Each structure stands twice: as C-alpha cells, then as structure tokens.
Amino acid sequence: MSTLAETIKQKAFELGFQKIGFVRAESLTLEKQHLKKWLEEGFHGEMSWMAREPDKRTDPRLLFPEAKTVISVAMNYYTPHRHEESSRKGKISRYAWGDDYHEILREKLSQLLAFIKTLDEKAEGKICVDTSPIMEKAWAVRAGLGWIGKHSNLITKDYGSWVFLGEILVNIEIEDEVSIETDHCGSCTACIDACPTGAILEPYVVDSRLCISYATIELPDAEIPEKIQKNLNGWFYGCDICQEVCPWNRFQKETKERNFHPRNQETSIDLDFILSMTHEEYIKRFRKSPMKRAKLQGLKRNAEALKKLDLQKSD
C-alpha cells in the first residue's frame, strides 16, 4: 500500500514536476544568519523587499501559521534552442524564453493541493512560487532536491540547474525519508571564473549589484552601471553565463512543458524593435511573459545600453 508521500509524489510527476520532497516546517536558523549577513553587506542592491520581514522569510509558519510540512518541487525548463548571436539583437535569459513560469507552476501546484485535499479532508495549504517571502532554494536543499552551487543556484544531479522551484505549505504531517544531497561542486570554479563582472565574490556569495541579471531585470535606475554595461556580452534580459559553464548542466534534458519553449521563436530580440515599441505593443507582446517584470522603460534602457556598447566597439 502506497504511503501518503508516495501517492502525492506520483500525482506531482503526472502534473509535470520532475522532483518533489517533503520536510518539516520549521525556522531556518542557519540560513537566517547567512541572509542577515548578506543583507548587511548590501548585496541585495535595490531589492528592498528582500530585507523586509526576515523572520517571515525564514519561518514558513509566519506565512501560514498552520504549516506542518513544506512540499518542495522542481520543474525542468531546459529547451535545446540557442541564442541568435547578432549585434542587432540582445540575448534573453533561458528562463524567460517561454510563458511566465509563476503562472504555470502556480496552476500545477493548485492542482496538486486540490488532490491532497481529496486524500485528507482536513488538509489546507498555501502555494508559493517565487513571489512569496520564502527561501525556496533552502527548502529545496532540505527536501533533498539538490544542492546550492557556488553561483547560488540550485543544482540537481539529473537536470542540472535549469529548474524552477515552488512550494506548498500544508497543515498536515507528511512523513517521507529525505536524503540530503551533498555539495558536488568540489574544487570547480567555472562559474566564478566565467562571470564577466565578478558578481560571484566568493563561492556561494553573489553581489547582486554586480550581476547582469539584476541590472537588466531588477535595477530601477535609468542607466545600467558602467562596469556592468561594458561587460553585458550581448545580454538584453538576464544572464545565463554561470549556468552555461556549469559542468553539471551536461545532464540537462529537454523539458516536456511546451510553454517553456521560446515565444515567437525568440531567444534573442531585435534592439531597434524594442526602442520603437509603444506601451500598447509592449502590453500585447509581453502578456504572460516573465519579461514584463522589467517594464517597457527597463527594456528600452537595456536596448540602449547594448546599442551604445556596439557603437563604442565600432569606433
């Protein structure tokens, strides 16, 4: 007879998740200390929300008081497409090629929670997909999904780091044997060596203020800092360099989720098209896309930075 955990796992796999684990809901004491130090150094830059309510961020019971178990899931989003290398176009981070993963994972987690409620009528839960103040990677590690690499992304043995994470906090206890994955980065420093802006200050420590992804997605400033702008390497929205060089991504597998494949067959986007885009065109083009996060102003700023860099190189 299948256990509750085994039955939920089977349903999760049917819904399209590749990995799932269960761990007791409790305070992340050690992770809270690391977060506190990282914030004190100012490594979060302008992402002020990361400094809000650190207790809630490190204790799921403050998000959902009834929480007894954290269900952590991972979904593979890798597709075998390649960037179009052209000075006229800017590269898009792989995670943003398809439809907004927040909506996709939230829908599938809603279905999983509904299924759990059919198994236990007393079950209630809260779904978290990136936007909730919860340390997703820390819970994924505790649930045995993988380990945090030196680039600070979660790495799995069987899918590399090309995975989206999500959680369900539930008010029931779900017992399951958890095997914590050890850190398999070893002496490798490929991600640290490859980062063109030196954003990975040391293993497992990233200064967002130096990160291309942060600058092109999260930074609200009118201009991208000069050090980052000079080292954009063609990146228009986000950056995958540290993941592309990771040896563990040789185990990458093509996703079965068709909505993660490139929208409009684009892995790179025409810079002049962005610069001439109206707000109405922006709304239509980026509806249900992760790229809407940077807003039209941010996208135009990124395009201008790449155009400026190209002009400087041609002088």
Give kind and range of the element (H or E) at residue 91. strand 89-92
Beta bridge partners of 73: 20, 166
Instruction: Answer yes or no: 272 catalytic.
Output: no
Residue 150 tokens read as: 């030196």
Give kind and range of the element (H or E) at residue 123. none
Rounded distance between C-alpha atoms, residue 14 and residue 25, angstroms: 25
Instruction: From the candidates 59, 99, 100, 130, give the one annotated as an active-site residue.
Output: 130
172 within 8 A of 69, measured Cβ to Cβ: yes
Residues 6+ apart with CB under 8 A from 69: 22, 23, 24, 25, 169, 170, 172, 173, 174
Give kind and range of the element (H or E) at residue 119. helix 101-119
Catalytic residue IDs = 130
